[in-house]
């Protein structure tokens, strides 16, 4: 096998393409180039005989000992005692010397997880001390010596990255095309912002309310910019009109899906062993990943009970109940709001073609957001969201009683959306315009 790869690389040449232009062909005399398809395979073969001994102080997950893990050349070594960890470090250093590898001392660190030891031990690699870290990133996840702050640190970092990307999207593209329409903006959200807001949801379930506070703020800010509505609009229609799920629901659904994935793995698989061990801890009332997932489901606006799922069918049932909780929560918010009369009791957009008109879905990307004329689309969206200049909304912030927010034309009724659209006759232009609207609606 090695001779085959050696022959392949002996005759392999490369080129660089920049803006449609190609460089001259060249060969690699520095080993396997990064990004080459064979690179990870060659590394796995090279690293297959790594010698890190198992000890009595290894981590045990559901009966499966875990001594170390590798993500390519990012290696993490576990032990429950200083002596065992130093023994593993010495063995790993000896293996690296034998196999012509060098450990990067600048990137090496150790961290106590859980309680901080009373006496801080010293660890060395080749007689060089390894620094202790209180907080460090490993394969994209922020690890913290104080486990209670790990979620907060990771969530804050990802929320900040999502906020910066959101600012770039609207700051750059709005200048290029005047305004990013909602449909491409939603695609950009799902492709660029959502991955940051959902990162780590399978590893760190949102077991506290503050866990998603910053993420919720970033998500709502993006949706308000996407829909071109102000900061005082109700929160629920941001999701019912865009079809985007609130980030707490989105993250908990991904965590439940991950649980379903782990339950499909064979016994002895590390991720399956970790979840089974976590479930056993949860049954005894101890803190664990499984228990945190149950808390995350209970913290939803309409709580969902996780139970003790043990197969894919049970997971599908939990996900269905999460979806039902989302629909019920948003429906209750819309129906209970006095600011959204035009979003209540809506029919399906194809109701005129249906024998029995069906109600509209509670949350979906609405058809009116596809209107091409920017001014028309924005005006309609703001009107539906109660982000308009009618007296019922503007006088709300001047402590004027609702009954006293009279129409500027007729002066008889409250100037709200229904009155302005269908009832007011205080201006001579309103009746002809309303007649045209009724005619066009009948023609549909």
In the predicted structure, residue 326 carries a pLDDT above the cut 70: yes
Tens-digit pLDDT profile for residues 369-404: 999 999 999 999 999 999 999 999 999 989 899 999
Partners of 141 in the β-ladder: 138
Average pLDDT over residues 224-228: 96
Q: Give the model confidence (pLDDT) of 240-255 as tens digits.
A: 999 999 999 999 999 9
At residue 33, does pLDDT exceed 70?
Answer: no
Residue 94 makes CB contacts below 8 A (sequence gap 6+) with 51
Residue 54 inside a domain? The answer is: no
Question: pTM (2 decimals)?
Answer: 0.86
- Residue 32 confidence (pLDDT): 58
Average pLDDT over every residue of 154-160: 89
Q: Which two tokens stand for residue 75?
A: 């290696």
DSSP-assigned letters across all residues of 99-145:
TT----GGG--B---SSPPSS----EETTEEPPB-SEEEETTEEEES
Tell me the mean pLDDT in the region 72-80.
88
Asked if 152 and 227 sit in the same domain, the reply is yes
Note whether 197 and 326 are same-domain residues. Answer: yes
| DSSP secondary structure code for residue 368 in this structure | G
Residue 345 domain-assigned (yes or no): no
Decide which of 303, 335, 367 is a domain's last residue.
335
Q: Is the pLDDT of residue 35 over 60?
A: no
- My answer on whether 154 and 294 are in the same domain is yes
31 band by pLDDT with thresholds 50, 70 and 90: low
Examine the pLDDT at 34 and tell me if it is beyond 60: no
Asked whether residue 270 falls in the same domain as residue 413, the answer is no
Q: pLDDT by residue (tens digit) across 106-115?
A: 889 999 987 7
Token pair in block for residue 112: 């106590």
pLDDT > 90? residue 179: no
- Across all residues in the chain, what is the average pLDDT? 89
Q: Give the per-residue pLDDT at 54.
A: 87
Contacts of 130 (CB under 8 A, 6+ apart): 89, 105, 108, 109, 110, 123, 124
Q: Which is more confidently placed, 19 or 93?
A: 93
Q: What is the pLDDT of residue 150?
A: 61
Contact 351, 358 (CB under 8 A): yes
Q: Give the model's pLDDT for residue 29.
A: 66
Task: Determine the Cα–Cα distance for residues 102 and 73; give it in Å rounded to an integer.
Answer: 11
Q: Which pLDDT does position 148 carry in this prediction?
A: 62
Q: What's the whole-number mean pLDDT along residues 255-259? A: 96
Task: Look at residue 132 and tell me whether its pLDDT is greater than 60.
Answer: yes
**Cβ atoms of 384 and 227 closer than 8 Å:** no
* pLDDT more than 90, % of the chain: 58
- At residue 357, the pLDDT reads 82
Check pLDDT > 80 for residue 343.
yes
**Residue 195: is its pLDDT beyond 70?**
yes
**Confidence tier at 76 by pLDDT (50, 70, 90):** very high
For every residue of 178-243, DSSP letters joined together read: SS--HHHHHHHIIIIIHHHHHTTTTTS---SGGGGHHHHHHHHHHHHHHHT--TTS-SHHHHHTT-
Residues 26-30 have a mean pLDDT of 71
Mean per-residue pLDDT for 73-92? 92
pLDDT at 10: 75
User: Which has the closest alpha carbon to 197: 148, 243, 242, 251?
Assistant: 251
Rg of the chain's alpha carbons, rounded to an integer? Answer: 29
Task: Report if residue 344 sits inside a domain.
Answer: no
Same domain as 276, residue 160: yes
Query: Would you state the structure tokens that stand for residue 341, as one six-digit string?
Result: 């009369």
Distance between CA atoms of residues 299 and 309, nearest Å: 19
Which of the listed residues 133, 156, 186 is the one where a domain comes to its end? 133
Instruction: Based on the fold, state whether residues 245 and 214 are members of the same structural domain.
Output: yes
Q: What does the buried/exposed string (b/e) look like for 368-380 if buried means 16 or more CB atoms within 10 Å of the residue's CB?
A: ebebeeeeebbeb
Are residues 90 and 12 part of one domain? no
Q: Are residues 13 and 77 in the same domain?
A: no
* Residue 388: closest CA among 232, 242, 236, 185: 232
Q: Is residue 368 part of a domain?
A: no
Question: Can you read off the two tokens belonging to residue 257?
Answer: 């899906």
What is the residue range of 30's domain? 2-47
Same domain, 93 and 172: no
Counting Cβ atoms within 10 Å, is residue 13 exposed (0-12), middle (13-18) or buried (19+)?
exposed
* Number of residues that this document lists for the chain: 444
Question: Which pLDDT value is given to residue 36?
Answer: 63
Report the alpha-carbon distance of residue 387 to residue 365 in Å, rounded. 19
Cβ pair 209, 247 in contact under 8 A: no
Q: Are residues 253 and 112 in the same domain?
A: no
Domain count, the chain: 4
Which of 140-154, 172-186, 346-360, 393-407 is least confident?
Answer: 140-154
pLDDT for position 290: 95
Asked if the structure places residue 366 within a domain, the reply is: no
At which of 294, 310, 335 does a domain end? 335
159 and 114 in one domain? Answer: no
The tokens for 138 are 């490993």
C-beta atoms surrounding 95 within 10 Å: 15
Distance from chain centroid for Cα 131: 33
pLDDT at 442 over 90: no
Same structural domain for residues 70 and 170?
no
* Residue 248 is assigned to a structural domain of this protein: yes
**Alpha-carbon separation of residue 78 from 49, 106, 118, 162, 271 (angstroms):** 18, 19, 19, 32, 16
Q: Is residue 350 domain-resident? A: no
Asked if residue 377 belongs to a domain, the reply is no
Closest listed residue to residue 228, CA positions, set 368, 394, 392: 368
DSSP 339: T
């Amino acid at each position: 096998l090695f001779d085959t790869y050696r022959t392949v690389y002996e005759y392999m040449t490369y080129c660089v393409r920049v803006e449609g232009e190609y460089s001259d062909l060249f060969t690699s005399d520095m080993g396997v180039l990064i990004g080459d398809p064979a690179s990870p395979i060659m590394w796995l073969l090279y690293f297959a005989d790594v010698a890190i001994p198992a000890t009595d102080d290894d981590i045990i997950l559901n009966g499966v000992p875990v001594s170390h893990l590798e993500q390519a050349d990012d290696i993490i070594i576990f032990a429950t005692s200083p002596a065992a960890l130093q023994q593993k470090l010495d063995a790993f250093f000896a293996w690296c010397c034998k196999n012509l590898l060098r450990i990067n001392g600048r990137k090496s660190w150790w961290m106590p997880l859980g309680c901080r030891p009373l006496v801080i031990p010293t660890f060395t690699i080749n007689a060089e001390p390894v620094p202790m870290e209180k907080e460090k990133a490993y394969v994209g996840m922020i690890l913290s010596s104080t486990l209670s702050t790990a979620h907060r640190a990771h969530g804050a970092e990802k929320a900040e990255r999502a906020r910066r990307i959101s600012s770039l999207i609207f700051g750059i593209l709005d200048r290029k095309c005047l305004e990013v329409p909602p449909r491409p903006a939603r695609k950009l959200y799902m492709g660029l912002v959502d991955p940051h807001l959902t990162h780590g949801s399978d590893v760190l379930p949102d077991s506290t309310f503050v866990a998603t506070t910053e993420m919720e703020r970033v998500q709502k800010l993006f949706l308000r910019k996407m829909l071109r509505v102000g900061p005082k609009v109700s929160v629920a229609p941001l999701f019912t009109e865009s079809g985007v799920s609130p980030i707490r629901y989105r993250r908990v659904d991904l965590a439940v899906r991950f649980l379903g994935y782990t339950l499909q793995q064979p016994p002895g698989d590390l991720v399956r062993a970790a979840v089974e061990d976590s479930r056993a801890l949860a049954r005894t009332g101890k803190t664990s990943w499984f228990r945190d997932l149950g808390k995350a489901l209970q913290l939803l606006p309409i709580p969902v009970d996780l139970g003790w799922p043990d197969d894919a069918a049970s997971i599908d049932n939990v996900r269905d109940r999460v979806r039902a909780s989302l629909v019920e929560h948003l429906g209750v918010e819309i129906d209970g709001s006095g600011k959204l009369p035009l979003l209540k009791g809506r029919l399906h957009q194809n109701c005129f073609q249906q024998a029995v008109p069906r109600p509209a879905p509670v949350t979906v990307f609405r058809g009116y957001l596809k209107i091409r004329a920017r001014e028309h689309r924005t005006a309609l969206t703001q009107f539906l969201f109660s982000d308009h200049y009618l007296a019922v909304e503007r006088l709300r912030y001047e402590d004027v009683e609702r009954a006293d927010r009279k129409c500027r034309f007729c002066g008889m009724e409250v100037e709200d959306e229904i009155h302005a659209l269908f009832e007011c006759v205080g201006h001579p232009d309103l009746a002809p315009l309303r007649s045209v609207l009724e005619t066009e609606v009948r023609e549909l």
